[in-house]
Amino acid sequence: MQFSTKAIHIGQEADPTTGATIVPIFQTSTYTQEGVGRHKGYEYARTGNPTRTALQECLAALENARHGLCFASGLAATSAVMNLLSAGDHVVCGDDVYGGTYRLFQLVLTRYGLAFTFVDMTDPARVAEAIRPNTKMIWLETPTNPLLTVFDIPAIAEVARSRGLVCVVDNTFASPYLQNPLDLGADIVVHSTTKYIGGHSDVVGGAVLLNDDKMHDTLRYHQNAVGGVPGAFDCWLVLRGVKTLSVRMRQHCDNAMKIAQHLQSHPAVERVRYPGLPDHPQHALARRQMRGFGGMVSFTIRGETAAAHRLLGRTKLFALAESLGGVESLIGHPATMTHASIPKAERDARGVTDGLIRLSVGIEDADDLIADLDQGLAYAVGNSGGSRAVESGRAAAAVQ
Ligand SMILES: *Cc1c(COP(=O)(O)O)cnc(C)c1O
């Protein structure tokens, strides 16, 4: 069965009691038992809920996984995976992970005796070098946020396999439609279903997908024992959203490519980062391990902070907001929003400069989105020396 069919049918058979075509919202905390110890597989809703079961089966199918577990948020899913570890264990983690993941690892879990080393994973040899005798896990995200760097999942998974470590990939940015890390050698996939999988910016959720039966038993035990489970209505919303994931992702990819190409030729723009552009440093790798390049585009505007702030306040279709992956386009300024907690020198060293803008390209009409960015950019560089920036930009472009 192909992806689009799985998204609509797996786990979603008609309800056996009523024939309801759509999986109902089982808004119940408990289940009446026929006799002591005799029940239909459900006893209490933290432990299990049929709406959640449907979502878990569907998401597992989309990642070609044997097992799926859903959680109240992407961070609850991440936290559940960390329950596989014990005090004294060490994790090698990508240095460009989601800010909330960094905060959970470095500011919360270190108090429980876990240790983390954050490394640039563009060279898998550096991942191997960071491994210590007590290392148990390698954690990565690809493409990364906000620089859209692409890491080599098969190469990093091979480092993990050869050293007996668990390799976890946060696949939120790509979505299962564009990339399946388990097929590339990873052991566990994590998603914030808040983003592309839900797709409508109306629900927060997370998922863990994997093949290994033993790890699944442990994670399932902790899903119940720790309790970060999603409500039935939230599961239903994600299930409703995921049905259209394939058509949405195709439109996200088309729009993002058009916008990336347009920005690349715009005189107010210094540099565009999009894995689909041939000049992206890991373009060839992205072609190998992804089926499309996604809906996230970032670029640096000439004129740095002041110009960036003028653009951010000026776009009308691109809403100034955190988050990503919804049908509507969003614009953000990593230096003052998602990455503000990182010191400026370190931000600059990583490439998260004050002129960097991040777009979550939605599925509106591409020409409308381009027109919105154009009027915003004209305003942004038109004020206080901006036209000079445009002129010098043209000159620089001519030199190249
Ligand atoms: C948003 C996000 C998360 C966290 O998910 P929540 O649902 O907000 O808890 C984790 N990883 C990535 C890549 C994200 O974008």
Q: Where are the domains of the chain?
A: 3-242, 245-399
Which pTM does this prediction carry? Answer: 0.94
Distances (CA, A) of 121 to 71, 141, 149, 187: 28, 10, 9, 17
**Dihedral sign from CA coordinates of 12, 14, 17, 23:** positive
Ligand 1 pocket, 338 CB below 6 A? no
The pLDDT tens digits for 380-400 are 998 544 444 444 444 344 333
Amino acid 384: pLDDT: 45
Amino acid 311: pLDDT: 96
Q: Is 267 strand, coil or helix?
A: coil
* Share of residues in the chain with pLDDT > 70 (%): 96
Q: Who has greater pLDDT, 375 or 391?
A: 375
Amino acid 349: pLDDT: 84
- 31 belongs to the catalytic site: no
Q: Given the CA of residue 172, which atom of ligand 1 is nearest to it?
A: 13
- The whole-angstrom separation of Cα 282 and Cα 326 is 25
Q: What mean pLDDT is predicted for residues 6-29?
A: 97
- 195 belongs to the catalytic site: yes
Residue 338 pLDDT grade (very low, low, confident, very high; cuts 50, 70, 90): confident
The pLDDT tens digits for 180-215 are 999 999 999 999 999 999 999 999 999 999 999 999
Q: What mean pLDDT is predicted for residues 254-278?
A: 97
Amino acid 383: pLDDT: 52
- 98 belongs to the catalytic site: yes
Distance 171 CA to ligand 1 centre (A): 10
Q: Given the CA of residue 141, which atom of ligand 1 is nearest to it?
A: 13
Q: Do domains 3-242 and 245-399 have the same CATH topology?
A: no
CATH number for the domain formed by residue range(s) 245-399 = 3.90.1150.10
**Phi and psi angles of residue 288, each rounded to the nearest 5 degrees, phi first:** -70, -45
Nearest to 46 by CA among 232, 238, 236: 232
∠ CA 283-195-68, nearest 5°, is 95
Q: What mean pLDDT is predicted for residues 248-271?
A: 97
- The whole-angstrom separation of Cα 140 and Cα 96 is 9
CATH number for the domain formed by residue range(s) 3-242 = 3.40.640.10
Q: Given the CA of residue 76, which atom of ligand 1 is nearest to it?
A: 9
Res 353 pLDDT > 70: yes
Distance 19 CA to ligand 1 centre (A): 35
